[in-house]
Amino acid sequence: MDIKIPNRHLRRIRKLPPKIQSKIFENLEELKENPFNPILDIDPLKGKYKSFYRLRIGEMRIIYYIEEGDIVVSAFDFRGDIYKKN
């Protein structure tokens, strides 16, 4: 299983402090191994986004879905802002 992350999200991740970047990439590696890993803080979204999942990493949120066996990152932002955009 691969993880597809749009370049705009990668650029934003790279602007974060190294410690936070490390946590994000570690969690994404765990997600790659098992998109429903019970160790990770994952919740399915509801309503019109019911095919999406939320991965919580501290104050950061990653919204993703699974398509043809790949994990596709749809949104990435801080907790207070992520749900306002979508």
Which CATH number covers residue 30?
Answer: 3.30.2310.20
- In single-letter form, the type of residue at position 25 comes to F
Structural domain count, the chain: 1
- Kindly tell me if the per-residue pLDDT of 36 is higher than 90: no
For helices 18-33 and 7-14, the axis angle rounded to 10 degrees is: 140
| Structural domain harbouring 52 | 3-79
Structural domain contains residue 70: yes
What percent of the chain stands above pLDDT 70?
Answer: 95
pLDDT tens across 43-67, in order? 999 999 899 999 999 889 999 999 9
pTM (two decimals): 0.86
In a domain, 85, yes or no: no
H helix or E strand, kind and range, residue 54: strand 52-57
Sorting pLDDT into bands at 50, 70 and 90, what band is 85?
low
44, part of any domain: yes
